Amino acid sequence: MEQLEFFSIPSPCVGVCQVNERGYCKGCMRNREERFNWQKMTAAEQRNTIRLCRQRYLRLRRQAIAVQVQGESQPETAPEDPQTSLFDE
């Protein structure tokens, strides 16, 4: 058993509860089903959801960088909030 399995996995919510045009929360990048069913998920499902959210976030960042390089208007990005993103390294 991994050490991570001893601890409950906290919700990835960062308090920025707005939905983008694709249906993902702008703060944590979870979809509606993932947000509403978080407490019902197993630990493995929660870890997978966080993995998916990180992929969504990184995809959005790559798109924003590509648009900046091309000089076009910037697409919707992660919030410009002083709060640190869940996915920044």
pLDDT of residue 79: 53
Q: Residue 80 above 90 pLDDT?
A: no
pLDDT band for position 83 (cuts 50, 70, 90): low
Domain positions in the chain are 14-70
Query: Taking the CB of residue 37, how many other CB atoms lie within 10 A of it?
Result: 13
- The average confidence (pLDDT) of the chain is 83
Question: Which tokens in the block code for residue 51?
Answer: 């993995």
pLDDT in tens, 20-36: 999 999 999 999 999 99
HSE, CB side, 13 Å, CA atoms: give it for residue 4: 7
Tell me the pTM.
Answer: 0.70
Amino acid, single-letter form, for residue 53: C
Q: Residue 1 above 60 pLDDT?
A: no
